[in-house]
Amino acid sequence: MARVAVGQFAVTVGSSGSTYIADPDNANQTITTALASRDYVFVKPGTFNFSDTLSVPSGKTFIGDPNDRPTLKMAAGVNKTVITNANASSGGITTGVTIRDFIIDQQGALQTAGGGIVCTGIQNWTLDRIRIKKSYKFNFLCLHQSTGVANNTGTITATKNSATLAGTNTLFTTELSVGSIIKSSGGQFGRVQSIESATSLTLTLPWGSATETNVTYKTIQPNSGCTFTRMRYEGTVNDADASGYGFFDSGTVSGAEAFGANGGGCGFVPDHARSMNLTNLVSHENDNSGISLETCEDCTITNPTTYSNTNGNGGQFISGTSRCTVSGGKAYSQTNNGWVVSYNTTSAGIPRSNVFSSVQGYLNGGYAFRNDGGLATEYSGVTGYNNDTGGLIINTSNSNVPDDVNVHNSTFYDDRGGSKSQDRGIYVVAATDTLVTNNTALDSLHVIAGIVDTGTNTTLSGNTT
């Protein structure tokens, strides 16, 4: 096991020969004591039973044996999260924590609450090589900082589908800044793009929820600068996602795997994330979609693999997600579609300006790519083949008509023949100002046609059909 030469600041927890001898039935108390007095805590191989949640303070490094990762196991019937941060209940911020090389087991007997790791208000955390086994509600979930945060001065009025936010007796110029995240008393969120005066500001996205008039609001801190690598999320027991990344700024998740989320759960769910990088993620065998971006901005997904997610799509951009990019990767063997951009509910915002580049979708039950109500979506060099319904469909959802969709240099085909052949390569159903250029939809087995256009003001040029 790697050693850190920090003298009195490092301790080892485990069996005989350790600095701290862990109580096998209440190891969290031993580890809590060690973390309170030392900056580096190493844990030897073995199973360490927890009877309560371990709350990790700022600036701590908590590491297991990399050659034989120890298991932190919540006792049967204890309905609590295994690990959280020290300020989770107070609304404070916990910074500079490293947790590495553990197996976290929250299965317990008939647990009805809790999760593997649940954090609130974290910054500059590093999680590496952590396997989280089948928790009740979620394996990993990071929420916004809210508890204990006082209301700002005055009240706000936010109008659905408008990016302008008005204040009454507010102090926007002194209490807010560009990038601030606000939370209304109705539980909805917005991020500040510019501040025009003490009583007027502009949000980065149009208000996607119902109009709220003269309500109180808070300023919350996002979870920022966090890096999660080589994580493995193994299912959930109840209706929940395998992993959730809420309110992240400039976070990185790479080399992670998620599967087995039950009851409608997804594999990876970034929610209200901004400038987050998701690289080499694998999501499979979940009861909903593999990767679901919800109200996200400026996020990048590189080389994802999603397959065999039973009731959802390989990946989806919903709830106002905007200016996000998928580059490379593949979605296959989904019950429904490969990748979807969707105005999925009338209470959420419209997705805008998202890009798919060199992405594959194949052997899906629906389309390789589906755009339902998304605006200014670009498909560049994508490939959709051998999908049961078609390559790409552009259609209306919740009364929003897609506009300014650009499909170019892409290929859609089906070479299986018979009843499994794709009906259409590209299908523009109800959309305005769609640009379809230099694509190939050549397969003679398309039941209807390579490209079908029933939209308004579609431009078709340079295509091979």
Q: Does residue 40 surpass a pLDDT of 90?
A: yes
Q: Is 301 left (phi over 0), alpha (psi -120 to 50) or beta?
A: beta
Q: Is the pLDDT of residue 2 over 50?
A: no
290/316 Cα distance (integer angstroms): 8
Closest CA to 281 of 259, 260, 251: 259
Average pLDDT, the chain: 91
List the structure tokens of 312: 């959802």
pLDDT of 114 above 90: no
| pLDDT band, residue 394 (cuts 50/70/90) | very high
Question: 216: number of CA atoms within 13 Å, CB side?
Answer: 7
> Which one, of 409, 421, 411, 419, lies nearest residue 442 by Cα?
411
Domain assignments of the chain as residue spans, ordered by start: 163-220
Using CA atoms, how far apart are residues 74 and 108, in angstroms rounded to an integer?
6
Q: How confident is the model at residue 8 (pLDDT cuts 50, 70, 90)?
A: low
3-state secondary structure the chain: CCCCCCHHHEEEEECCCCCEECCCCCHHHHHHHHHHHCCEEEECCCEEEECCCEEECCCCEEEECCCCCCEEEECCCCCCCCEEECCCCCCCCEECCEEEEEEEECCCCCCCCCEEEEEECEECCEEEEEEEEEECCEEEEEECCCCCCCECCCEEEECCCCCEEEEECCCHHHHCCCCCEEEECCCCEEEEEEEEECCEEEECCCCCCCCEEEECEEEECCEECCEEECCEEEEECCCCCCEEEECEECCEEECCEEEEECCCCCCEEEECCECCEEECCEEECCCCCCEEEECCECCEEECCEEECCCCCCCEEEECCCECCEEECCEEECCCCCCEEEECCCCCCCCCECCEEECCEEECCCCEEEEEECCECCEEECCEEECCCCEEEEEECECCECCECCEEECCEEECCCCHHHCCCEEEEECCCECCEEECCECCCCCCCCEEEEECCECCEEECCEC
Amino acid at 45: P
CB of 137 closer than 8 Å to CB of 112: no
Residue that has been written with the tokens 């034989």 in this structure: 68
Q: Where does the pLDDT of residue 78 fall: very low under 50, low under 70, confident under 90, or very high at 90 and above? A: confident
Residue-level pLDDT at 332:
97
Per-residue pLDDT tens digits for 193-240: 999 999 999 999 999 888 999 999 999 989 999 999 999 999 887 778
Q: Residue 422 has what pLDDT?
A: 65
Distance CA 179, CA 192 (A): 5
Q: What is the mean pLDDT of residues 448-458?
A: 89
Q: Return the exposure string of 325-358: e unless at least 16 CB atoms fall within 10 Å of the residue's CB, then b.
A: bbbbbbbbebebbbbbbbbbeeebbbbbbbbbbe
Q: How confident is the model at residue 1 (pLDDT cuts 50, 70, 90)?
A: very low
148-162 tens-digit pLDDT: 889 999 999 999 889
Query: What does the block give as tokens for 128?
Result: 């590496």
**What token pair was written down for 388?**
């049961």
| pLDDT for residue 432 | 97
What local confidence, expressed as pLDDT, does residue 420 receive?
A: 62
Tokens of 425: 């390569």
What tens digit of pLDDT does each residue of 311-331 get? 889 999 999 999 999 999 999
Q: What is the pLDDT of residue 239?
A: 75
Distance CA 128, CA 260 (A): 21
- Separation of alpha carbons 226 and 198, rounded Å: 32
Residues 6 or more apart whose CB falls under 8 angstroms from that of 79 comprise 108, 111, 112, 113, 114, 136
Percent of the chain with pLDDT over 90: 73
| Of 30-44, 143-157, 358-372, 410-424, minimum mean pLDDT range | 410-424
Query: pLDDT band for position 24 (50/70/90)?
Result: confident
What are the pLDDT digits (tens) for 246-291?
999 999 999 999 998 888 889 999 999 999 999 999 999 999 999 9
CA dist 433 → 25, 80, 98, 455 (Å): 65, 52, 49, 8
344 or 376, greater pLDDT = 376
Q: What is the pLDDT of residue 110?
A: 61
- Give the per-residue pLDDT at 445: 58
- Which region among 36-40, 279-283, 435-439 has the lowest average model confidence (pLDDT)? 36-40
Between CA 89 and CA 55 the distance in angstroms is: 10
Least confident span in 19-23, 280-284, 371-375, 390-394: 19-23
Q: Is the model's pLDDT at 165 over the cut of 60?
A: yes
CB atoms inside a 10 Å sphere around CB 464: 11
pLDDT score of 448 more than 80? no
pLDDT of residue 421: 60
Whether 137 has a pLDDT exceeding 90, the answer reads: no
pLDDT of res. 3: 42
What does the pLDDT average to over 137-153? 88
pLDDT of residue 379: 98
Give the pLDDT band of residue 7 (cuts 50, 70, 90): very low
Please report the pLDDT score of residue 5 as a whole number. Answer: 42
Q: Are 230 and 258 in contact (CB under 8 A)?
A: no
Question: What pLDDT does 347 receive?
Answer: 79
